[in-house]
């Protein structure tokens, strides 16, 4: 069968809702695009553990510390699951991790920013994990079947993370003036990165992942769902939004494109975020200090006589 016929058949299958398995024939652009997409997701999970790990000493009680540690452990597990799925597309886990450490691959914008206090844990657990769930739920119908299967487990665990963040938020919101100020301060710093989380307006005509239904919804559609779901909840708790301030429009909450400052995201795309180099440095240090374990495991077993 010619390449053109294979491509036509592949496009027809995707268009009619069929799923693509790792062993199926697929266009090189599809393979590269899905690999890059899942690799970034895996990178984001493993780098996303660092901001919350930095908040462990700030936990107000032992119970909070234990629950946050369990969440961090889940995020590392998600990364390993995703790297395993990506490996089937032709790139080893070692190569993906080393590209991350070398700054050759990307991870989500929100994990390039600093944390200051326990209010950050509330915003990360409630609003940032809420944004992640909006995007991941849309990917449950992705055309790449191995990704959708692993996402079912990830999304179920992220729901628990969301409840964890929501519970901390409600405790701060109903607490002292200082506790409320902690959440408001965190919201002021994180709001623009959360808006950036979904990315700029999608170019539907040029986005191959949308065409091949790896992604099922546009960036602006996902951002709108997040705003409609969470802005009323934040407002009900008595907190206010910094720029870009959402405004009511009919039954929706809208953030105008012209109000969004994209310059910080442009810097992060170049791996020049506020915490990018320090966090990658931490990952490099851990990778180097555990090199002996990888080398020991790579040696053949020696049996005693």
Phi and psi at residue 118, to the nearest 5°: -65, -20
Number of domains present in the structure of the chain? 1
Please give the average pLDDT of every successive group of 10 residues along the chain, which has 305 residues.
92 96 96 98 97 96 96 96 97 96 96 97 98 97 97 96 97 97 98 97 94 96 97 97 96 93 95 95 93 83 56
Answer yes or no: is 176 within a domain: yes
Residues 6+ apart with CB under 8 A from 230: 127, 130
CATH classification of the domain holding 238:
1.20.1260.10
Answer yes or no: is 303 within a domain: no
pLDDT at residue number 302: 58
pLDDT at residue number 298: 80
Cβ–Cβ < 8 Å for 120, 190? yes
Phi and psi at residue 20, to the nearest 5°: -100, 130
pLDDT at residue number 304: 53
Domain that holds residue 219: 25-294
pLDDT at residue number 301: 60
Answer yes or no: is 212 within a domain: yes
Answer yes or no: is 304 within a domain: no
């Amino acid at each position: 069968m010619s390449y053109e016929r294979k491509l036509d058949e592949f496009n027809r299958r995707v268009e009619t809702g069929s799923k693509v398995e790792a062993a199926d024939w697929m266009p090189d652009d599809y393979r590269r695009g899905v690999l890059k997409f899942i690799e970034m997701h895996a990178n984001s999970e493993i780098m996303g553990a660092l901001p919350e790990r930095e908040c462990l000493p700030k936990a107000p009680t032992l119970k909070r510390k234990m629950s946050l540690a369990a969440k961090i452990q889940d995020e590392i597990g998600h990364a390993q699951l995703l790297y395993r799925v990506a490996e089937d597309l032709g790139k080893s886990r070692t190569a993906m991790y080393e590209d991350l450490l070398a700054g050759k691959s990307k991870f989500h914008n929100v994990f390039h920013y600093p944390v200051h206090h326990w209010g950050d844990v509330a915003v990360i657990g409630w609003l940032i994990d809420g944004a992640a769930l909006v995007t991941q739920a849309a990917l449950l119908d992705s055309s790449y079947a191995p990704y959708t299967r692993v996402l079912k487990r990830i999304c179920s665990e992220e729901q628990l993370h969301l409840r964890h963040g929501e519970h901390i938020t409600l405790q701060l919101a109903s607490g002292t003036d200082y506790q409320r100020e902690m959440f408001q301060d965190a919201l002021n710093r994180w709001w623009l990165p959360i808006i950036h989380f979904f990315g700029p307006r999608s170019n539907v005509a040029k986005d191959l992942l949308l065409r091949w239904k790896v992604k099922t919804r546009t960036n602006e559609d996902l951002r709108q769902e997040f705003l409609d779901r969470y802005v009323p909840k934040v407002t009900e708790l008595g907190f206010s939004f910094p720029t870009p301030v959402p405004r009511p429009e009919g039954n929706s909450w809208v953030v105008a494109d012209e109000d969004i400052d994209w310059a910080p995201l442009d810097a992060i795309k170049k791996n020049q975020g506020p915490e990018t180099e320090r966090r990658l440095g931490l990952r490099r240090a851990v990778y180097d200090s555990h090199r002996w374990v990888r080398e020991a495991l790579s040696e053949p077993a020696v049996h005693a006589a």
